[in-house]
Amino acid sequence: MSHDLTPTLVSFQAATEGFRAGTDSPRDFLERAIDKLEAAEPTLKAFAALAIPRARIVADGASLRWKEGRPVSRIDGMPIGIKDIIETFDMPMGLGSPTASGFQPVRDAAVVHALRDSGAAIVGKTKTTEFAGSYATDTRNPHDPTRTSGGSSAGSASAVGAGILPVALGTQVIGSTLRPASFCGAFGFKPTLGAINRGGSHDFQSHSCIGVIGASLADIWFTTHEMVQRAGGDPGAMGLIGKAELAAPAKPGKLILLQTPAWDDATASAREQLLATVSTMSAAGVQILSRDNHEGVAKFETALLEVMDLALDIVGYESRWPLKSVAYRDRDGLSPSVLTRIKLSDELGLDGYRALLTRRAAMREAFETLAREADAFITLGATGAAPKGIQWTGNPMFNVPASVLGAPALSLPVYEDEGMPLGLQLMGAQHTDERLFAIANYVMAR
Amino acid sequence: MSHDLTPTLVSFQAATEGFRAGTDSPRDFLERAIDKLEAAEPTLKAFAALAIPRARIVADGASLRWKEGRPVSRIDGMPIGIKDIIETFDMPMGLGSPTASGFQPVRDAAVVHALRDSGAAIVGKTKTTEFAGSYATDTRNPHDPTRTSGGSSAGSASAVGAGILPVALGTQVIGSTLRPASFCGAFGFKPTLGAINRGGSHDFQSHSCIGVIGASLADIWFTTHEMVQRAGGDPGAMGLIGKAELAAPAKPGKLILLQTPAWDDATASAREQLLATVSTMSAAGVQILSRDNHEGVAKFETALLEVMDLALDIVGYESRWPLKSVAYRDRDGLSPSVLTRIKLSDELGLDGYRALLTRRAAMREAFETLAREADAFITLGATGAAPKGIQWTGNPMFNVPASVLGAPALSLPVYEDEGMPLGLQLMGAQHTDERLFAIANYVMAR
């Protein structure tokens, strides 16, 4: 068996015609994934646990159904990876921390159950940084194993970017889905806050959500839609709004160029590529609003100067549990970065936290007002290529706004920097997820 | 040793003077609780697991601190029970279901960690109905062991009502804290939605919250305040608003008599006692608004006709996870009532659920508008005495409004029916928890 390890995205949706025709099958698709996994995993270290025997049984059932023209869903038999902070009843839960050693959930997370119900073949748990925070895991970037895959959804981005899996689940509360997707050359989707049910996922912070990393817009949209139809959104939330079909390409009338406080931290090449896209769009008749020509954008860019501190303080306070509970039981199992975070957040206190919530609400209101003036925001997926080394998961500054604002965002693998992938990011008002896919489809078609 | 099994509420707060004076200690208080527990538990069946050796060590530390005049909190050394759908790292988690057999959490829930941090001595896990739903557990009522203790916080209400514990935690999404408190002769508190951090509690529904059952208003307020100062509210919520001290008694200017759709289901004795209280209040100068003299109240009473269906449908949809995940793995371990609930909720679908959320939001808006016209609402804690037998946990109709509305509510053990305890319930607008305690203090002083 020859193993081509060139990282090439592998779409399940592109293969479904073959499943119907009988020239390919989900089982064959899975075996190709397993071959690639076995060849690449010793280098990539993307997986925390595997469930291949069960995945093969599931793929066999789906193979029959596709051939008979009656798949249970668009993702029937699709191999998928689950970030290891999301519970599955059949694999241990590692949380990227030795303190979780031996923890075996007795249930599937809501999305995992929904995926099984959709016929998806769960291949394994993908590695995460410690409690989805900043302390890195040992996962490598498929485009250059001497570099980080980003974090915290490290294994999911690496496995999709390497062409092992068509889709893997992540989570994002700072930049944990979009940044690794950008670094690993995959598509990344961080939906509207509450759009995907987080039950059984250990990302419990108030602006966290489940993210989807995939080989194409179609792979991501169908996976998300199938999950949400079955599991709903977070309790009390409307869930992802949109039709079952992938939105057709739609040229935006107006886009807002968002430079963010990290503009000067982006590489020259990254900035040039984004500005070139903006110029092309402009030439095609898309009106571009930016801080240079629109007062509202300039004002919002200024408001964003505090977005990272706001995010870190809110997430820090909300993460004291379970981290303090873990520290009580097994302090030596926690990284110095977590112990420092606990200390700082304790000093904030409940009144300090309440003040942060008020500031976040004000920032969201300003964002939603500005968002009504255009179809979407356009920015970078990251400051540049994945950093060298695996100790630092990279600068999340371009991803924080969508997190704090509860806004949907997509990272599209269309740029490159230092010979590595780099994403173009689209972001929109809450609940405009579907329109964002339509615009992304337009961008990708060009 | 003689064991007086007469159910008498035992307050920890009333004992603290003795702790300071050295005439009593948290360790002695705990030993009295253990004596009573050992004598009563074979009949009551209130506990799912015990952690007495650890509780003794904790109480000894607290005993020293009280004597030296430096307790870490108002509840330092206080014995407490934790409903068995809330995680503790040192006891198995039963969830009232055989499907959870062998599940050992690796962390404490946020409130459990906060309690340990406050010095509280966690005595054990208290029994719950199956997944805090309607399928009963085997717990008995301390006032008459042939009767139910109510549900779902069955063991917590039984242990407090029996005088074993001064405080125990429950949860409420329909009537699971206030109803058992009413049936067992304890004080029950269901706070404003989001007021107490639910992290690590398996009550995840959108209008569920942690409730506190206790021997007095002081025991409940101090416990809640200490927990929230340390753990905060739900992520994104403000947490319980109020000072550290228990609010002084305050005579309300206006009360709204809420009869609810269950008025005709209440026993004649229950109705008479509530109306007698209302008359006394009125004679004391409190203005009483009711459906008979106020159009807004009449209109709201009519709106409440749909509150139970709304609650059951919302909770049903949101509970499909984890119940469907459990059914996938261990269907035979679920009661017929759960299996039926899953089926009905599947038929509702995501669009149906969204419509329910819209209706709930409208009901909340009407409630908050009406609530501004008075200081609080007054009603019954239950339709009457705890039913005979332990198969049925009783009618929750008087408790559902506060659940759906996200409103704070208290059940005060001041009435009786069939020689059993019965609660007077106070309810207020969101975030008026502290005012509710002030009014309750006034009611109790009379």
Say yes or no to pLDDT of B92 above 90: yes
Mutate to test the interface with B, among A111, A325, A330 (most CBs of B within 10 A): A325
Least confidently predicted of B50-59, B308-317, B324-333, B368-377: B324-333
Q: Measure in Å the smallest separation between the Cα of B314 and chain A Cα atoms.
A: 9
pLDDT at residue A344, as a whole number: 87
Write the single-letter amino acid at B56.
R
Taking all residues of chain B, what is their mean pLDDT, rounded to a whole number? 96
Residue among B89, B204, B234 minimizing CB distance to A199: B204
How far, in Å, CA of A91 to CA of B159, rounded? Answer: 37
For B349-399, give the secondary structure using H, E and C. Answer: HHHHHHHHHHHHHHHHHHHHHHHCCCCEEEEECCCCCCCEECCCCCCCCCC
Say yes or no to pLDDT of B3 above 90: no
Residues of B in contact with A231 (CB under 8 A): 320-321
Residue written as token pair 């690590």 = B200
How far, in Å, CA of A390 to CA of A383, rounded? Answer: 17
Averaged over A66-86, what is the pLDDT? 98
Same domain, A289 and A214: no
How far, in Å, CA of A109 to CA of A106, rounded? Answer: 10
Same domain, A283 and A410: yes
pLDDT digits (tens, 9 = 90+) for B152-190: 999 999 999 999 999 999 999 999 999 999 999 999 999
pLDDT at residue B4, as a whole number: 62
Q: Do A110 and B354 touch (CB under 8 A)?
A: no
pLDDT digits (tens, 9 = 90+) for A89-104: 999 999 999 999 889 9
Q: Do A232 and B112 touch (CB under 8 A)?
A: no
Residue B158 lies in a domain: yes
Same domain, A79 and A191: yes
pLDDT digits (tens, 9 = 90+) for A145-181: 999 999 999 999 999 999 999 999 999 999 999 999 9
Residues of B in contact with A200 (CB under 8 A): 321-322, 325
Instruction: Judge contact between B103 and B96, C-beta under 8 A.
Output: no
Q: Measure in Å the smallest separation between the Cα of A298 and chain B Cα atoms.
A: 28
Q: How confident is the model at residue A84 (pLDDT cuts 50, 70, 90)?
A: very high
Confidence check on the interface: ipTM exceeds 0.85, yes or no: yes
Q: Do B200 and A325 touch (CB under 8 A)?
A: yes
Averaged over B90-95, what is the pLDDT? 96
Compare all CA atoms of chain B with the CA of A327 and give the residue at the minimum distance: B107
pLDDT at residue A164, as a whole number: 98
Averaged over A50-73, what is the pLDDT? 98
Burial of residue B138 (CB within 10 Å: 0-12, 13-18, 19+) is: exposed
Instruction: Judge contact between B35 and B109, C-beta under 8 A.
Output: no
Mutate to test the interface with B, among A58, A107, A171, A354 (most CBs of B within 10 A): A107
Residue B330 CB neighbours (<10 A)? 17
Q: Which residues of A touch B (CB under 8 A)?
A: 89, 99-100, 102-103, 106-110, 112-113, 116-117, 197, 199-200, 204-207, 228-229, 231-232, 234-236, 238-239, 317-318, 320-322, 324-326, 328-329, 350, 353-354, 357
Instruction: Judge contact between B354 and A238, C-beta under 8 A.
Output: yes
Same domain, A177 and A108: yes
Q: Measure in Å the smallest separation between the Cα of A30 and chain B Cα atoms.
A: 23
Q: How far, in Å, are A399, B175, B191, B278 from residue A424 at the CA level?
A: 11, 50, 45, 66
Say yes or no to pLDDT of A211 above 80: yes
Residues of B in contact with A328 (CB under 8 A): 108, 113, 116
Residue A320 lies in a domain: no
Nearest Cα to B214, choosing from B268, B265, B153? Answer: B153
Q: Which residues of B touch A (CB under 8 A)?
A: 89, 99-100, 102-103, 106-110, 112-113, 116-117, 197, 199-200, 204-207, 228-229, 231-232, 234-236, 238-239, 317-318, 320-322, 324-326, 328-329, 350, 353-354, 357
How far, in Å, CA of B361 to CA of B353, rounded? Answer: 13
How far, in Å, CA of B103 to CA of A105, rounded? Answer: 7
Structure tokens at A348: 């904030």
Write the single-letter amino acid at B175.
G
Instruction: Judge contact between A422 and A192, C-beta under 8 A.
Output: no
- H/E element, B103: none
For A60-72, give the secondary structure using H, E and C. Answer: HHHHHHHHCCCCC
Instruction: Judge contact between A147 and A141, C-beta under 8 A.
Output: yes
Same domain, A222 and A260: no
Residues of B in contact with A318 (CB under 8 A): 232, 235-236
Structure tokens at A427: 């972001």
- H/E element, B124: strand B121-126
Say yes or no to pLDDT of B5 above 80: no
Say yes or no to pLDDT of B147 above 50: yes
Same domain, A27 and A96: yes
- In total, the C-beta contacts within 8 angstroms joining chain A to chain B are 115
Q: Do A89 and B329 touch (CB under 8 A)?
A: yes
Write the single-letter amino acid at B95.
L
Structure tokens at A133: 């925070």
pLDDT at residue A144, as a whole number: 97
Q: Do A321 and B110 touch (CB under 8 A)?
A: yes
Give me the percent of chain B exceeding a pLDDT of 70: 99
Look at the alpha carbons of A218, A177, A234, A130 in this order and tell me if their dihedral is positive or negative.
positive
How far, in Å, CA of B211 to CA of B408, rounded? Answer: 10
Averaged over B361-369, what is the pLDDT? 98
Averaged over B84-103, what is the pLDDT? 95
How far, in Å, CA of A12 to CA of A30, rounded? Answer: 10
Residue among A199, A329, A350 minimizing CB distance to B239: A350
Where in the sequence is the domain holding A424, given as residue range(s)?
A: 254-308+355-445
For the packed helices B26-44 and B52-67, what is the interaxial angle rounded to 10 degrees? 150
pLDDT at residue B95, as a whole number: 96
Q: How far, in Å, are A128, A160, A179, A201 from residue A154 at the CA level?
A: 6, 10, 10, 16
Same domain, A147 and A41: yes
Long-range contacts of A339-343 (CB under 8 A, 24+ apart): A341/A133, A341/A316
Same domain, A169 and A289: no
Q: Do B110 and A207 touch (CB under 8 A)?
A: no
pLDDT at residue B446, as a whole number: 82
How far, in Å, CA of B98 to CA of B338, rounded? Answer: 13
pLDDT at residue A1, as a whole number: 40
Q: Do A110 and B229 touch (CB under 8 A)?
A: no
- Which stretches of B68-105 are DSSP H helices? none
pLDDT digits (tens, 9 = 90+) for A316-366: 999 999 999 999 989 999 999 899 889 888 899 999 999 999 999 999 999
CA angle B230, B234, B236 (to 5 degrees): 110
Residue A323 lies in a domain: no
Q: Measure in Å the smallest separation between the Cα of B351 and chain A Cα atoms.
A: 9
If one counts the domains in chain B, the total is 1
Q: Do A322 and B113 touch (CB under 8 A)?
A: yes
Say yes or no to pLDDT of B306 above 80: yes
Same domain, A303 and A437: yes
Q: Do A321 and B197 touch (CB under 8 A)?
A: yes
Residue A98 lies in a domain: yes
Say yes or no to pLDDT of A25 above 50: yes
pLDDT at residue B1, as a whole number: 40
- CATH assignment at residue B79: 3.90.1300.10
How far, in Å, CA of A437 to CA of A426, rounded? Answer: 9
Which residues make beta-bridge pairs with B412? B424
Say yes or no to pLDDT of B353 above 80: yes
Averaged over A39-61, what is the pLDDT? 98
How far, in Å, CA of A222 to CA of A216, rounded? Answer: 10
Residue B252 lies in a domain: no
pLDDT digits (tens, 9 = 90+) for B245-290: 999 999 999 999 999 999 999 999 999 999 999 999 999 999 999 9
Q: Do A354 and B231 touch (CB under 8 A)?
A: no
Same domain, A188 and A289: no
Taking all residues of chain A, what is their mean pLDDT, rounded to a whole number? 96
Averaged over A269-276, what is the pLDDT? 98
Give me the percent of chain A exceeding a pLDDT of 70: 99
Q: Do A354 and B239 touch (CB under 8 A)?
A: yes
Same domain, A200 and A52: yes
Say yes or no to pLDDT of B220 above 90: yes
Residue A137 lies in a domain: yes
Q: How far, in Å, are A33, A39, A132 from residue A185 at the CA level?
A: 18, 19, 20
Residue A327 lies in a domain: no
Domain boundary among A231, A264, A296: A231
Long-range contacts of B15-18 (CB under 8 A, 24+ apart): B16/B66, B16/B71, B16/B74
Residue A164 lies in a domain: yes
pLDDT digits (tens, 9 = 90+) for B382-394: 999 999 999 999 9
Same domain, A183 and A276: no
Say yes or no to pLDDT of A312 above 90: yes
Q: Measure in Å the smallest separation between the Cα of B119 and chain A Cα atoms.
A: 13
Domain boundary among A197, A231, A265: A231
